[in-house]
Structure 1
Amino acid sequence: MSKLEKELQDKLLINLLDLVEQSVLCKMNIETTTNAGQLLLAKSRYIQGPQTVSKSQLPTENSNEFNALKTVTRTEDEIDNKFELSVHTVDKENGFIDAIRWFGVLVPRSLQMAQEKFNQAVELVIESANIQTKLNNTIRYLLLLRNKSS
């Protein structure tokens, strides 16, 4: 193995460790954020009563169709795959509705905060998926380098 290959392997290993650390931190943030959202949701149910914040407000098969305000798109190129979050504005004519309105016009602040926490969690999941893609690519490059030098 040449000196250049060893240096490249060292840099890839350092990058791998950095990506592992980022992945663990991101997953911990996802857990923390979703737990906070669930606690805020429970607080909303406690404040408003179990019947006002429940699955009975969710749409059923007979409800009007609607579009998601946030969608995930995947872009691919020769080197990398990347996930991006597309955010749409509320537009009732085109089917983009704010789901929090299913629970009434004057929703508790804790329910709004829970929605914000779950939105943050979705963004963190996208970030985690991108980190995982980078991690997989780094491992693949390391294996290629090791196989080449063997």
Structure 2
Amino acid sequence: MVEQTEDMDKLCETLDKLTLDALLLIQEEIEMKLNIENAMCEGESHLIKSRYILGVNQVSSLQLPTENSEEFSSCFKVNDSETILGRKIFDLYEIKKSDDNNVVEPLWWFGRLSPQYLVFAQKMFRQALQWTVKAANVQNRLHDVLQGISVLKEIKHKMTLKE
């Protein structure tokens, strides 16, 4: 009986720690999403300033590639890898322009001499992309913690039925 009480205490303590971890991960996820939102808003405001400086026709969807455009590769790639526990971890890496790949600098769609606001907008959107990858990793960790809590609750429920 004493051993079962000790096991229950350890189980409850572990549940408490996992619940605290879950709350911290939720807070971290909210902060990441706020950072994403701020970076996107900042990038959009710089795009608006660029459009104002260059004119409506110089910064518009007309400069973006279409289906008939030449093929190109993205400047960034997201890799996913699995841990021992089966959790996916995402990482973002930049692909540098070289002769063997067809990476295109997106700023060049708006002309070779892009205004500084357009460069700032690109930096903010890249920052938002980095925050998004980090937020996905936090979400995966949170999912694992919540699964652990669920399993421990089941064990606790079974232990209370035995008493």
TM-score bin (small chain): over 0.9
Structure-to-structure mapping, 1:8-27, within 5 angstroms: 8-27=14-33
Q: 2:132 aligns with which of 125, 129, 136?
A: 125
Q: Could you tell me which amino acid in structure 2 is paired with residue 119 of structure 1?
A: R
CA distance in 1, matches of 2:118, 2:21: 40
CA distance in 1, matches of 2:107, 2:45: 17
CA distance in 2, matches of 1:11, 1:102: 51
Query: What do the CA deviations read for 1:23-53 (whole angstroms, capped 9, x no partner)?
Result: 1111011111100000000000000001111
CA contact (8 A) 1:33 1:117 kept: yes
Unaligned runs of 5+ in 1: none
**Which stretch of structure 1 is more off in the superposition, 37-46 or 58-67?**
58-67
CA distance in 2, matches of 1:121, 1:140: 28
Structure-to-structure mapping, 1:1-150, within 5 angstroms: 2-79=8-85, 80-91=87-98, 93-150=100-157
CA contact (8 A) 1:73 1:85 kept: yes
Give structure 1 regions of 4+ aligned residues with deviation exceeding 6 angstroms. Answer: none
Q: Could you tell me which amino acid in structure 2 is paired with residue 48 of structure 1?
A: L
Shift of 1:5: 0.9
Unaligned runs of 5+ in 2: 1-6, 158-163
Q: Could you tell me which amino acid in structure 2 is paired with residue 123 of structure 1?
A: Q
User: What is the total number of aligned residue pairs between the two structures?
Assistant: 150
Please tell me whether Structure 1 or Structure 2 has the larger radius of gyration of its CA atoms.
Answer: 2
CA distance in 2, matches of 1:91, 1:99: 15
CA distance in 1, matches of 2:36, 2:73: 24
**Normalising by the residue count of structure 1, what TM-score does the alignment of the two structures yield?**
0.96
Q: Could you tell me which amino acid in structure 2 is paired with residue 137 of structure 1?
A: D
CA contact (8 A) 1:52 1:103 kept: yes
Q: Could you tell me which amino acid in structure 1 is paired with residue 144 of structure 2?
A: N
Percent identical residues: 33
SS, match of residue 69 in structure 2: coil
CA distance in 2, matches of 1:84, 1:94: 21
Q: Could you tell me which amino acid in structure 1 is paired with residue 17 of structure 2?
A: K
Shift of 1:93: 4.2
**Normalising by the residue count of structure 2, what TM-score does the alignment of the two structures yield?**
0.88
